[in-house]
Amino acid sequence: MIDSVLVANRGEIARRVFRTCRDLGLATVAVASDADAADGAPHAREADAAVRLPGAAPADTYLRGDLIVRAALAAGADAVHPGYGFLSENAAFARAVQDAGLVWIGPPPAAIEAMASKTRAKKLMADAGVPLLAPVEAPGEADLPLLVKAAAGGGGRGMRVVRELAALERETEAARAEAASAFGDGEVFVEPYVERARHVEVQVLADAHGEVWALGTRDCSLQRRHQKVIEEAPAPGLGEELTSVLCEAAVAAARAVGYVGAGTVEFLVSHDGRPYFLEMNTRLQVEHPVTELVHGIDLVARQIRIAEGAALPAGGPPPAAGHAVEARLYAEDPARGWRPWTGTVLRLDVPGDVRLDSGVEAGTEVGVHYDPMLAKVVAHAPTRQEAVRKLARALEGARVHGPVTNRSLLVRSLRHEEFVTGQMDTGFYGRYLEELTGANEEASLPLLAAALADAARHGTPRVGGWRNVRSQARTKRFRSEPDGAEREVRYRWERGGTLTPEDQPGVRVVSVSGSLVVLEAEGVRRAFSVAAYGRRVHVDSPLGSHAFTSLPLLPEPESTLAPGSLVAPMPGTVVRLAEGLTPGTEVTAGQPLLWLEAMKMEHEVTSPTEGVLSSLDVTVGQQVTSGDILATVT
C-alpha cells in the first residue's frame, strides 16, 4: 500500500495529482525549482512537504532524475507519480525509482522504452496489426506533402511540414537540430502528411492482471504548432464502426507492449475516414479531464490503485454519459506567431459550472523556463452543443488579468461554424487564424470606461467661483494590449461632478466609480468592470475583455536603436544560429538568423531587411530579455 506520493512535476498537473492523493488519504511531496520556490508556487505550498531542486532551468531541476529520487527518499515518500512532460516518459528514470525501492505510478519501463522511439513503435504496431502510415524512405514529388518528425519526444517539437521537395533538406536539418536540443536525440523520419486529417486518440487503462480498457475517443484536432489547444470527448461524428476500430487498435497496441497503467494511443483519421497510428503516450495526457467527466472516473486514482496491484473492476469501463470540452488557456499572443508572454498573474477567475485545473493563481509569476499554459477550463453537459456553449460562455466571462492570453481566440474558436458543426481538422488554425485574431471593433466603449474610471479614482476637480463656460476637455492616453496601438479618450467634468464623453456624443454615462462604469449606447445599457494595477488597466464587460496601459499625456523619450537592429521579441535562450552566420554574411529579408527558446517552444528570428550582417551580439546558450539587441543588419 502507498502512503506518501512525490509528484515529479510542477504546476497544474502536480496540483491535479495532489487533489486525488488528498481524497485517497495519501500524504504528498512536491519538488520545486528555485524559480518556483521564489515565486511561492501553488503546487509547492499545497503539498505536505516540498523539496528544493537547486536551479531554474528544467535541465538542472525537473529533468534531474537523481535529484528527484533523492528528494523522495529524504521526504519519506514511498511512491513517485511523474505527471506529464519532463521525465514522465523516461524509462531510465522509472527504473531508478524502482531501484530505489519506490513504487512507480506509471507503466513498466520496458513499455515506455518500446514506445519511446516513434520509428520502433511503428514496427511494433505493424506486427500487432495496428493501421499506420509507412515512413517514406526516398521522397519524390509524388509523395508531397511530407511531414518530417522527431523519433523521440513529443509536444510538436522537431516537426516540419514540407510542401516543396527543394525545402526537404533544410527542414529536415531544422527538425533534427530542434529534436536534439529538446530531447537529446536528433533522429528524425519522414512520412506522408495527411491533409484535412483529424487527430483522434483513445484513452487506455490496463492493470497487471491482463485487463485493458479503452475509455472511448477524444478529438484533439485544434492545434497550434502541432500542440493541442481544444480537446473533447467523445470525438464527434466518427460513427460506431470507426470508433470500434480505433478502440480495438488501441487495446492491441497496449497489449503488444505489456502496458500497465493509464496511457493514450493517438491516431490520424483522414478526410475519408481511414485511421493511422501516430504514437502512444505512455503517461497521463493533458486532456485527460474530458474522459474523466464523460466516464465519471478519476484516472489518477486508478493509476494509484493499479500501482498498488489492484485489478480493474469486472464488467469493463464505466459507460460514457454526455460530452466534455476542454480549452487550454495559454499566456501567449496567437496573432503574433503564438508569442509567449511573461509577467505576473494578477487575477484568474472563471465563472460557471466548469472544471478549472490551474497551476497559477493571483500573484504567480509566469517565467520563461516552463510551458506557458496557465489553466485548463473544462465543461461537461448532456450534449456537445451544450458543452461547447457552456465553455465559450465561461471563458468569455472569465477575469484573466496579467499576461496576454489566448482567451479571445478560444472563445472565437468554440463559436466558429466549422467547430460548432464538428467539421474541424488539424489545419483549422492554418485556415482561420487571421480571422480569429482580428482586431476587436468593440474597443471604444471599454476604452472610455477605462478613462472614466481613472478620472473617478483621482477625484472630482475643484471648480472655484461661477463660470458661464464649460470646463475644458481632458485627455487620457492608452496603449491597447497586445497590438500596441495608442489611443486617446476625451471627457469633461460637468457641474455637479458628472463626467461626459467628448468624442462619443451618442453615449450616456449612467454611473461611474473607480471600479465600475455603466454606459448606455443606442439605448443599450452595459456595465464595465475596471481593474487597475499601476498603469495596467483591465476592462471586462459583455463586449469582451480588454487590456490597456495608461500613458503619460506627453510621450516619453524613446531610446534610439541603430538602423537594422534586430531585438529579442521575448525573454529566452539562444538555442541555434543559422549555419555559417558570422559578421559580414549577406542576408535576405525574412531569412532565419537565429532561434530563441522560451516556454518550451522555439521561435525563429528573421532578418528585417536585405543586407549584410554587421554585428552578431549573442552566442548559443545566452539568456536574453525582451528588447535586447541580437544582431544588426546593414
Which amino acids are annotated catalytic? 283
Task: For residues 380 and 228, give the distance between their C-alpha atoms in angstroms, rounded to a whole number.
Answer: 19
Q: 531-541 burial string, b = 16+ CB within 10 Å, else e?
A: bbeeebbbbbb
Q: How far apart are CA 323 and CA 519, in angstroms?
A: 38
| All cell numbers assigned to 49 | 512537504
Residue 586 has phi, psi (to 5 degrees) of -80, 135
Can you spell out the DSSP letters for 51-78?
EEESSSSGGGTTT-HHHHHHHHHHHT--
CA distances from 582 to 153, 219, 290, 563, 612 (A): 32, 46, 50, 19, 10
Which residue in the block uniquely carries the three cell numbers 502528411?
Answer: 193
Q: How far is CA 33 from CA 52, 66, 151, 211, 352, in A?
A: 6, 14, 29, 38, 34
Side-chain-facing half-sphere of 70: CA atoms under 13 Å:
9
Residues 6+ apart with CB under 8 A from 624: 568, 571, 572, 573, 574, 596, 618, 630
Q: What does the block give as the cell for 286? A: 493533458
Give the phi and the psi of residue 369 in degrees, each rounded to 5.
Answer: -80, -20
Per-residue exposure over 354-370, b if at least 16 CB sit within 10 Å of its own CB, e if not: bbbbbbbbeebbbbbbb
Q: Quick one: cell of 141?
A: 514529388
Contact by Cβ (8 Å): 121, 112? no
Going 172 to 175 to 179 to 180, the CA torsion angle's sign is positive
Q: Are 35 and 367 in contact (CB under 8 A)?
A: yes
Task: Using alpha carbons, select from 148, 473, 132 the residue that is nearest to residue 269.
Answer: 132
Round to whole Å and give the CA distance between 201 and 278. 9
Q: Rounded to an integer, what distance in angstroms lies between the CA atom of residue 322 and that of residue 384?
A: 7
| Sheet with 49-53: strands ordered across | 49-53, 27-33, 4-7, 79-81, 103-104
Cell 529536415 appears where? 172
Long-range contact set of residues 623-626: C-beta below 8 Å, sequence gap at least 24: 623/571, 623/572, 623/573, 624/568, 624/571, 624/572, 624/573, 624/574, 624/596, 625/568, 625/571, 626/567, 626/568, 626/569, 626/570, 626/571
Count of residues for the chain?
634
